[in-house]
Structure 1
Amino acid sequence: MKYCISFLVLLLILGITGFMNGVHGVGGECDKHSTADFEKLAPCGKAAQDINARVPHSCCAEVQKMDTKCLCVAVLSEQAKQLGVVVAAAVTIPKRCNIANRAKGYKCGDYIVP
């Protein structure tokens, strides 16, 4: 719970200070995501930091709605790094959520979405 609250507080701070008006500098379809879209991923905080953490249903519901490419851009962002997101753990969230139509084999940085 402590990690989720910390994750949400950091997201809000970053959003308020203007660092997250979408995914900066990437261009394309992922730039349309606003701070509010990323705040919806707050329930994923602990699961994005620890591959063995339980993924809450609320996290899975939000990840299901998100395009794999945009999720990848989000977890590779500087903001995610500052929040302690571990890319190796974050890319497994769709699988841990049992999302059947996930983009298996999608390359996200140095990682492959399982």
Structure 2
Amino acid sequence: MSVHTPHLTGAGSVKGKGACGRLSPDQEAVQLAPCAVAARDGKAPVSKSCCLQVKRIGQNPRCLCAVLLSNAAKAAGVKPQVAISIPKRCGFAHRPVGYKCGRK
């Protein structure tokens, strides 16, 4: 299954101070393509490649939230309330428990 993200070609400018560093959340979202089904269905299995990408991006909870709320994620049908459960479903002991996306 593929994730359709038509508006990512040439997406945005590269910046160093965004939520995800030098890449935009839309650019980072492309790396989460292996998570497409698991991000829409809380009962779907989470692949090893998905867990590896979530672990990398999840080191910065602010970036992970920005990715889950990005235009690319919306276009792919990601349900943020389901996607935020992926770190737990991957069995990560160190995950942003209680972290609220979109709130300070």
> Could you state the TM-score of these two structures normalised by the residue count of structure 1?
0.73
Identity of aligned residues (%): 39
Kept in 2, the 8 Å contact 1:14–1:20? The answer is: no
Which of 26, 33, 42 is residue 33 of structure 2 equivalent to?
42
Kept in 2, the 8 Å contact 1:51–1:88? The answer is: no
> 2:51 matched to which residue of 1?
60
Gaps of 5+ in 1: none
Normalized per residue, which structure has more helix?
A: 1
Q: Report the AA paired with residue 30 of structure 1.
A: C
Aligned-partner Cα distance in 2 for 1:31–1:79: 17
Q: Does 1:106 align with 2:99?
A: yes
Aligned-partner Cα distance in 1 for 2:19–2:80: 21
Aligned-partner Cα distance in 1 for 2:8–2:23: 12
How far the C-alpha of 1:40 sits from its partner, in A, is 2.0
> Could you state the TM-score of these two structures normalised by the residue count of structure 2?
0.79
Kept in 1, the 8 Å contact 2:28–2:67? The answer is: no
Aligned-partner Cα distance in 2 for 1:20–1:93: 27
Aligned-partner Cα distance in 1 for 2:18–2:72: 18
Instruction: Return closer, same or farther for 1:77/1:29 CA change in 2, 3 Å cut-off.
Output: closer
Which of 67, 76, 90 is residue 69 of structure 2 equivalent to?
76
RMSD: 2.4
Q: Report the AA paired with residue 55 of structure 1.
A: V
